[in-house]
Amino acid sequence: LLSKRSCSTLIRRFETYFFIELLRILAPFSSLLLIFINNMKLGSSNSPSDMESGKSTVEEEMKKLLTSETPQNPSSPEPAESPTKADAPIVSSLGLRILTLLAFQNCFKNLLMRFIMKDKPDFLTSAAVIGVEVVKLILCVLYIVIIDRRSLWSIIEFMKDDYKHAILLTIPAAAYSFQMSMEYVALANLDAAIFSVLVQSKLLTTASFSAVILRKRFKFIQIVSLILLTVGVMLININNMKEGSDDNSNNIKGVMATLGIAVSSGFASVYTEKVIKAQRSNNVSRKNYSLAYMQVQLALVSLVILGIYAVIIDYEKIRDNGLLHNFTTGAFVSVFNSAIGGLTVAAVLKYADSVLKSYATAISVVMTGVLSMILFGTQLNAIYGLGIVNVVCAVLLYNGKNLDKLAC
C-alpha cells in the first residue's frame, strides 16, 4: 500500500503531466487567439509584417513554455504544429478595405467618365486635365498646411532641395498627362465595359518594356498569363468591331486611344523603376516629408507640361473662347472625381502589394461590365464573357503567389 505522501506526489505528477498535454493541444488555438486580440487592439495600423512578427513571437513563447516544462517521454504524442505563414489569411482586414476602395474607385471613374463623354461634349480635354492637376495641387497644399501643420515655405524648400528629382519627373508626368487626355477620347468612343478590359493590355506593354529595358526575366506562369491577356484583348476587340460595324471609325479611335494609354503606362512604369528609383536625390530626406509633398511636386511638373501642350494644340480655341469654354457641370464633376480618386489611390498604394492590386483590377473589370450593362444597356455576349475571363485570369496569374498549392 502506498503512503499518503506517495499518493499526493503521484497526483501532483499526474496533474502536471495532464496540464502539459492540455497545453500541447491548445497551443495552436491559444496563439491564434492572442494574435486576434493583438490585432483588435492595434486596429488597422498593423501591417502584414507586424502581424507575422507578432505571430512568430507568440509561437516562440509557447514553444519555450512547452519545451521547458515537458518531461522527455518517448511514448508521448507529437506536439501539434503551430500555424505557419502559409495558413495566414490571404487578405487582412486592412487589405480588404484597400481592395474594396481600389476596385470601386476604378469602376466608378470609368462609369462616370463614360456617362459624361458618351454624348461627346465640346469642351477642351486639355482644360479638364489641367483642372485635375490644379485641384490635386490645392488639396495637397491644404493638407500640408492644415493636417501636417507646416508652412508654405516648407514646400518651396522641398522643391529647391529636390529639384533633380523634379527634372526626372518630367517624362512620367508627361506620360500620366497623356493617359488622362486619352481617357476622355477613349470613353467618348467606347463603352466603359470594353474600355476597362482593353486598358489591361498595359500589363503586356509593361512586361515588354521591362524585358527590353530592364532585361527582366519572367516565369513560365507569367508568360502564360501574357498569352491569356493577349487572347482576351483580341476577343474583346473582335466582339467590339462586330457589334459596332455601323460606327467602326469611332470604335477604332477609342481602341487606339486605349492602346496609347497602355503603351504610355508601361513605359512610365519602367522608366520610374530604372531612372527615378535608381537616381533619387540624396540631398533630401523623404522621411521628413509626407506624401502630399511628392504629389505637389508631381502636380507642378504636370502643370508645366500641360500648359505647353494646351498652348501648342488648343491655342486658337483658348484665345477665341477661353480655357473653360463649354465646360459643363459633368466636366467639373469628372475633374474633381479624377483628382480625388488619384490622390486616394496614391495614398493607399503603399499598403497594397501587386497581388492586392491585381485582385482589385479583376473585381473592377467585372463590376464595370455588369454595371455598364445595367446603366447604359451595353450588350454583353459570350465572346465578351470569354474575353473577360481570359483577362481576369491573366491579371491574377501574373502577380499570383503560391500557385502550386492544392486548391482543395
List pLDDT tens digits, range 313-368: 888 888 888 888 888 888 888 888 888 887 877 777 666 666 677 778 888 888 88
pLDDT at position 261 is: 92
pLDDT at 260: 92
Max Cα distance, the chain (Å): 115
Nearest to 389 by CA among 235, 207, 255: 235
> Which residues of the chain carry a pLDDT beneath 70?
1-92, 94-95, 241-249, 276-287, 349-355, 404, 406-408
For the chain, the first-to-last Cα distance in angstroms comes to 57
Q: How far is CA 167 from CA 132, 160, 199, 276, 312, in A?
A: 21, 11, 28, 10, 21
Helix axes 248-271, 170-189, angle to 10 degrees: 160
Give the tens place of pLDDT for each residue, 52-85. Answer: 444 444 444 444 433 444 444 444 444 444 444 4
Cell numbers of 187, please?
470613353
| pLDDT tens digits for range 150-181 | 888 888 888 888 787 788 888 888 888 899 88
Whether pTM > 0.75 for this model: the answer is: no
What pLDDT was estimated at residue 142? 92
**In the prediction, which pLDDT does 231 show?**
87
CA 168 vs. chain centroid, Å, equals 23
State the pLDDT at residue 10.
60
Residue type, 290: S
For residue 374 the three cell numbers come to 445595367
Label residue 292 exposed, middle or buried (CB < 10 Å: 0-12, 13-18, 19+).
Answer: buried
- pLDDT of 287 reads 63
Res 268: pLDDT: 86
Q: Which of 165, 174, 194 is nearest to 129 (CA)?
A: 174
